[in-house]
Structure 1
Amino acid sequence: MNKTELVARIAEVSSLTKKDSEAALNAMLSAVQESLVAGEKVVLTGFGTFEVRNRKERVGHNPRTGASISIPAQKSPAFKAGKVLKEAVR
């Protein structure tokens, strides 16, 4: 499912127009992004948790040359599915 299909599904289920559904989806995605940038967790009970995880610096290898390279530490967005979502998918 892509964004267009998701907007159509939201419109169908919520009785909103596609335009309003897209605005709601964009607002939700923007709010999640802003919270993650601010270092906050976003917890959607029953669905899951969005958070930023810190990845340590590590050593990798260039596949062409086999040379060792240093991969710098970085922040990475992560999602952990909630219990209800996990059980629904099973």
Structure 2
Amino acid sequence: MADKSLNRTELVAAIAADSGQSQATVNGILDSLFNKLAASVGDGTKVSIPGWLSVERTHRAARTGRNPSTGATIQIAAGYGVKVSAGSKLKAAAKG
């Protein structure tokens, strides 16, 4: 697990400093990016940024599960999840 973390406020400040844009502008761009990402994945469209990451909606079939408290068998409905895959540039950056 990482010892360091970068929250949204720190990310916005760093991008603003690197790009010369205001923090408000960068924050608006990030909001727009995440809104478009959520809308696209919600519609079933795969979003791919070559070399960095791809995000897609996945389908989970209905299945039988078990209540951990009682041990009773329960039916879990079909649903959707999200799969995020790291691209080659992101993987290379993680290796150091």
TM-score (norm 1): 0.93
TM-score (norm 2): 0.88
| Equivalent runs, 1:16-35 vs 2, <5 Å | 16-35=21-40
Find the partner of 2:61 among 51, 56, 77: 56
* Aligned counterparts of 1:51 and 1:67: Cα–Cα separation in 2: 33
Deviation at 1:60, TM superposition (A): 1.3
1:39 partner SS: coil
**Structure 2 unaligned regions, length at least 5:** 1-5
What RMSD in Å do the two structures reach over aligned CA positions? 1.0
Q: Show CA shifts across 1:9-38 (max 9, x none).
A: 111111111100100110111111111112
* Aligned counterparts of 1:49 and 1:87: Cα–Cα separation in 2: 16
Q: Percent of aligned positions with the same letter in both sequences?
A: 36
Match of 2:77 in 1: 72
Match of 1:47 in 2: 52
Match of 1:87 in 2: 92
